[in-house]
Amino acid sequence: MKILICDPVDEKELSRLNDVENVSYDVRTGMAVDELKETVKDYDAMVVRSATKVTAGLLEAATNLKVIGRAGIGLDNVDIPAATKKGIAVMNTPEGNVVTTAEHAIAMMLSLSRNIPTGTTTMKDGLWEKKRLQGREIFNKVLGIVGFGKIGSIVADRARGLKMKVVVYDPHIAPEQIESSGFESVSLEGLYRRSDYISVHVPKMEITLTFLEKKPFGLMKEGVKIINCARGGIVNESDLHAAIVSGKVAGAALDVFAVEPPGENPLFDLDRVICTPHLGASTREAQTNVAVSVAEQIIAFLKTGTIVNAVNVPSVTGELLEKIGPLLELGEKMGVLQTQLIKGPVKEVTIAYEGDFQKVDLTPVSTAVMKGLMTRMVTDEVNFINARALAKEMGIKVKETSTAESKDYANLLTVHVRTTEMANSVSGTIFGKKDPRVIKINNFRLELIPQGHMALIYNIDRPGSIGEIGTTLGAHAVNIGRMQVGQEEGGDHNIIFMQTDTRIDDATLSALNDLGSVKSIVPLEF
């Protein structure tokens, strides 16, 4: 069994691979795309960091590849759906660099407050600009933490040790959970208005892109300082530049950028911006940790089939996977749907199985549900290994029920979610042998294929209402690929699920909401 190391990784720790019987590895970094495509054909596993782009085209060429190991957390550079389609396990090492990244955020905040980079540069230029570089204390200042996952919670703890006042916003964690850790839970607007410093610790996904932009900057305190050691693109760089020039934002410390390497960037012309080249995870200790972890995970997979920290497959045998594979997809997509429909922190999840499930271990299916639910709720990377643990950390109760009886379908999976504000129920089944369908949402019956760009519309059931919706979408150049209409049992409302070729933008959403027949609309992504 052969392993290809595509990016620089601590070789001292990788050398333990030499001690494993029938396992060898080659280090080939910096290969061009065509060379990599030709090379990867001969390997069973590959190890990457952030530099190598594992595209669908590359995976098509990787005819023997069984597993991809990411030495680190982020998987923006790996086409996970394409890997899943080919049956390739994708693993990361989520625990290896959380402390390192949190420490970097603290270091950036202190450097920004005391003008350390500028002071160093001017001193080396022969200047002594003591008055111009007067800083400010962080003691007793308010630090706003956006995202209370592993890294965000460590930053909060370290800031508490520096005698800062810490406020936290995380819509997916119950306030009492945050407060039990000794921090104040606040609304996002409250955080903007109160914070002297704001540090973001959320994953990069569609809903967090340009999370900090013109409108939020307008709500912040005069003289606020921004720290981003999470992912590039979360902060709108153009709007940040304008906010600094206007004086609204007193400075920013950035470790990540929308484009990396960023090349020329107007932010670099501002003295009140300090930056580092994505160094959050770059310490000797972190590199050692992730190298050890990825080596151990790859060895376990190749030798025994054990899957650790996989993001796309659970730890199940091949025989069981053949039986429940479509259910895993259904369960995860139902979790993804629920997390986009609910409001408020989740308190309880009940996963109910009805039908011919009695001789099958459904634990991986329940885990898939929780993975889908948690992925958009937490700031940490979620996989089949940690999904339940993360739910437990957040105080979410998970229940499972099973019955052999099913009225209308051979088998039925229902996910009930109770939050601090509401309760919501979604049911689904498998059509044929492998086609997942959502067939009920609360009291509405339908037949939904959960994939792509979608929108859920609650509308009044009256003549012409669907035509109005179609006309409005057409006027905004949005094409409907598929539409499902579900009727409320014993009511006068419909729900409409539309799959569109493109994401519905805010202007289109506003126009739809203005229609008299539309009660509400929720954009969805699968």
pTM > 0.85: no
- Percentage of residues in the chain having pLDDT higher than 70: 94
Burial grade of 210 (CB within 10 A; 0-12, 13-18, 19 or more): middle
Residue 173's CATH number:
3.40.50.720
Torsion sign (Cα): 369, 370, 372, 377: positive
pLDDT band at 464 (very low <50, low <70, confident <90, very high): confident
DSSP string, 212-226: B-HHHHHHSPTTEEE
To 10 degrees, what angle do helices 116-124 and 98-113 make? 60
Please count the helices (runs of H) and the strands (runs of E) in the chain.
17, 22
Eight-state DSSP code of residue 16: G
Burial grade of 138 (CB within 10 A; 0-12, 13-18, 19 or more): buried
Domain boundaries, position 510: 451-526
CA gap 207, 234 in Å, rounded: 9
Residues 81 and 142 in one domain: no
The number of CA neighbours under 13 Å toward the Cβ of 39 is 19
Contact present, 201 and 145 (Cβ < 8 Å) = yes
Eight-state DSSP code of residue 412: E
Residues 104 and 205 in one domain: yes
Q: Looking at 49, 158, 172, 231, which residue is catalytic?
A: 231
Strands in 362-500 per DSSP E: 397-403, 411-419, 423-431, 435-441, 444-448, 453-460, 480-488, 493-500
Residues 121 and 254 in one domain: yes
To 10 degrees, what angle do helices 284-304 and 98-113 make? 160
CA gap 95, 76 in Å, rounded: 17
pLDDT per residue as tens digits for the range 212-268: 999 999 999 999 999 999 989 899 999 999 999 999 999 999 999 999 899 999 999
CA gap 335, 340 in Å, rounded: 9
Alpha-carbon distance values, 259 to 128, 278, 464 (Å): 35, 11, 46
CA gap 242, 256 in Å, rounded: 18
Number of domains forming the structure of the chain: 4
- State the pLDDT at residue 180: 92
Strand partners, 47: 5, 69
CA gap 106, 504 in Å, rounded: 38
pLDDT band at 210 (very low <50, low <70, confident <90, very high): low
pLDDT band at 306 (very low <50, low <70, confident <90, very high): confident
pLDDT per residue as tens digits for the range 117-158: 999 999 999 999 999 999 999 999 999 999 998 899 999 999
Q: Looking at 137, 260, 285, 421, which residue is catalytic?
A: 260
- State the pLDDT at residue 337: 93
Residues 6+ apart with CB under 8 A from 124: none
- Say how many residues make up the chain: 526
- Reference 476, options 505, 452, 513; nearest CA is 505
Eight-state DSSP code of residue 355: E
Residues 373 and 511 in one domain: no
pLDDT per residue as tens digits for the range 281-296: 888 888 888 888 888 8
Residues 258 and 145 in one domain: yes
Which among 249-258, 300-309, 449-458 has the top mean pLDDT?
A: 249-258
Residues 109 and 87 in one domain: no
Cα angle, residue 375 at apex, residues 372 and 377 outer, rounded to 5°: 115
Contact present, 236 and 218 (Cβ < 8 Å) = no
- State the pLDDT at residue 341: 92
The token duo for 41 is 């054909």
pLDDT per residue as tens digits for the range 356-370: 776 777 888 998 899
Task: Clarify whether 482 is annotated catalytic.
Answer: no
Alpha-carbon distance values, 272 to 173, 263, 267 (Å): 33, 19, 9
CA gap 488, 493 in Å, rounded: 6
262 upstream amide cis, omega within 30 of 0: no
- The answer, yes or no, to whether residue 74 has pLDDT greater than 80, is no
The token duo for 222 is 């005069």
Q: Go through 219-236 and write b for each residue having 16 or more CB atoms within 10 A of its CB, e for each that does not.
A: ebbeebbbbbbbbbbbbb
Residues 243 and 117 in one domain: yes
Task: Clarify whether 278 is annotated catalytic.
Answer: yes
- The answer, yes or no, to whether residue 345 has pLDDT greater than 70, is yes
Residues 167 and 37 in one domain: no
pLDDT band at 70 (very low <50, low <70, confident <90, very high): very high
Residues 270 and 289 in one domain: no
Contact present, 275 and 241 (Cβ < 8 Å) = no
- Reference 413, options 330, 510, 505; nearest CA is 330
Torsion sign (Cα): 383, 389, 393, 397: positive
Q: Looking at 49, 104, 278, 418, which residue is catalytic?
A: 278
Burial grade of 301 (CB within 10 A; 0-12, 13-18, 19 or more): buried
Residues 26 and 129 in one domain: no
- Percentage of residues in the chain having pLDDT higher than 90: 48
To 10 degrees, what angle do helices 150-161 and 98-113 make? 50
Please indicate whether residue 436 or residue 390 has the higher confidence score (pLDDT): 436
Residues 299 and 387 in one domain: no
Residues 149 and 271 in one domain: yes
Strand partners, 443: none
Domain end: 387, 421, 442, which one? 442
Torsion sign (Cα): 346, 352, 358, 360: negative
- The answer, yes or no, to whether residue 113 has pLDDT greater than 60, is yes
